[in-house]
Structure 1
Amino acid sequence: MPRKVFASHVFDRKVVVITGGCAGIGRALVKRFAQAGAKLVILDLNQEALASLAQHLRDHLNVEASTYVCDVADAERVAEVFGQIIQQHGGIDLLVNNAGITHRSTFAQTSLSVLKRIMHVNYFGAVHCTQAALPSLITRQGQVIVLSSLSGFAPLLYRSAYNASKHALHGLFDTLRVELKDSGVNVMLVCPGFTATDIRKNALVGDGSVTNQPPLAMGKVLSAQDVAEAIYNGAIKRKRLLVLSNVDWRARILARFFPRIFERLLLPRLSGLKPRG
């Protein structure tokens, strides 16, 4: 996918907040909006990774970014951080709810603590950040971008909590979009397909531990840079829904209207299961 680095000035000097910004799609988004001239605010759990990314932006793009250590699942910390962001920058023009975690375990073998942790980060993390940013976004007629997944509309095996969190995001932000229709604030849900990130390496298992997972048989995998470019272009156009799935419309249609066919033909492959020999 071609990258037109300076094709638009839409986000020039706009305050862009990206959660989970130090790796994967989040890191690629940070770089893309930096190239577009945005004032970047990066949230992540890892102080060293934040410092390293900020240095990279200074050295390679001549960009200064504000960084905050923040667990988006912690409502009090989110409120504190967003208060500091608004005080420092005067407001927020774009919030990208990117932070997320996953797991790989059957529902029966997944502890309640893991189910809660996935929901606290993936769903309530977006809730906390959006509530904290919303007054400023309304004032500036800004935009909220939410990273969902193809599992937001199609089930994936061994990721029940992850799937549930993505379905919850659609329910919340589709409703929020309607509520904000006269405010000038845009809400865009993004559903990438399989993307080359480290989220699988950090996946939880049923007891809550992090264990190296075997490679998944996922077929074609998108790069984080290509996903970030598509999200950037979608943000310029203020789209409502951006589907970047490697199986795109087929999974959506089959999962919704022909679930038995979906479960037989696509579900094993989408879940990363190798075909039986």
Structure 2
Amino acid sequence: MGIGVFHNKVVVITGGCAGIGRALALRFAHAGARIAILDIQDETLVAFRQQLMDKLNAEVLALHCDVADEAQCEQAICQVIEHFGGIDVLINNAGITHRSAFAETELAVFRRVMAVNYFGALHCTRYALASLIERQGQVIVLSSLSGFAPLLYRSAYNASKHALHGLFETLRMEVREQGVNVMLVSPGFTATDIRKNALVGDGSISQQVINTPFKVASPTDVADDIYHGALKRKRLLVLSNVDWRARLVARLFPRLFERWMLPKLSGLNHSR
């Protein structure tokens, strides 16, 4: 099913140079899509664009864009539309996290996490929406397992992911009659650099490596699942590698979950 569906389609990926975003660019390029990568890593943008062109013969546009900056988002999306003629799929993948207790987290950290995770997706979607409606495309939003199990010491991150659900579940209802699909994706633990580059309470980068008690998925496998979800134009894709029993306990026995499972999910012992 879906062979050729994305051939010559224009796929925009924010945070497309690393992790899941990079794997998504490779996956959609394999399917014959024309790719626009938005990222802040200028040297990596150039190198990855060349790799996609050389190895996959893909048509690629690589643009510097800090999604927290509305003006940069508007400029980048307009450049994509001008270059390719429109947008068929927008993947809001760019994101950051933090690791700090609420009381120890400066407001600037909350603002930065929300600026990237929430407003970044809002900015790009707002400027791409007219083209997506015209082409009856779809918006794909990377959320998190924190949508059902908020992680300890990630209050800003959890809040940003809940905000994404509120925004894009509403948008889905508003644009479905116009032929646009909105798919929210909740991956589980994935081998990316987001945890290695987590902010701490004062806004600096954490050097602490947190080990997870669960099997970590590869970005390639996650990207493949997202690709097949896009083929089926799903509304919600939960890819959590957290045992289904943990999710059941979270729903039915929240106090037990919070006491015994949540610290484990958060990569912490009971005493922190």
TM-score normalized with structure 1 length: 0.94
Contact 2:195–2:209 under 8 Å retained in 1: no
Partner amino acid for 1:179? E
**Number of the residue aligned with 1:174:** 169
Q: SS where residue 182 of structure 1 aligns?
A: helix
Written as runs of structure 1 = structure 2, the 5 A alignment for 1:67-106 is 67-106=62-101
Separation (CA, whole Å) in 2 of partners of 1:254 and 1:141: 39
Written as runs of structure 1 = structure 2, the 5 A alignment for 1:231-270 is 231-247=226-242, 249-270=244-265
Is it true that 1:19 corresponds to 2:18 in the alignment?
A: no
**Number of the residue aligned with 1:3:** none
Task: Return 5+ residue gaps in structure 1 as ranges.
Answer: 1-5
Q: SS where residue 146 of structure 1 aligns?
A: strand
Aligned counterpart for 2:201 among listed residues 168, 181, 206: 206
Is it true that 1:43 corresponds to 2:38 in the alignment?
A: yes
Cα shift at 1:60: 1.6
Partner amino acid for 1:93? D
Contact 2:151–2:265 under 8 Å retained in 1: yes
Is it true that 1:186 corresponds to 2:178 in the alignment?
A: no
Cα shift at 1:64: 2.8
Aligned counterpart for 1:34 among listed residues 20, 29, 36: 29
Partner amino acid for 2:115? H
Separation (CA, whole Å) in 1 of partners of 2:213 and 2:198: 16
Separation (CA, whole Å) in 1 of partners of 2:268 and 2:23: 28
CA RMSD of aligned residues (A): 1.5
Is it true that 1:217 corresponds to 2:218 in the alignment?
A: no
Identity of aligned residues (%): 67
Task: Return 5+ residue gaps in structure 2 as ranges.
Answer: none
Contact 2:143–2:185 under 8 Å retained in 1: yes
Aligned residues: 271
Q: SS where residue 177 of structure 2 aligns?
A: coil
Is it true that 1:114 corresponds to 2:109 in the alignment?
A: yes
Partner amino acid for 1:59? D
Cα shift at 1:26: 0.3
Cα shift at 1:7: 6.4
TM-score normalized with structure 2 length: 0.96
Separation (CA, whole Å) in 1 of partners of 2:55 and 2:213: 33
Cα shift at 1:275: 6.6
Cα shift at 1:211: 2.4
Q: SS where residue 178 of structure 1 aligns?
A: helix
Q: SS where residue 188 of structure 1 aligns?
A: strand
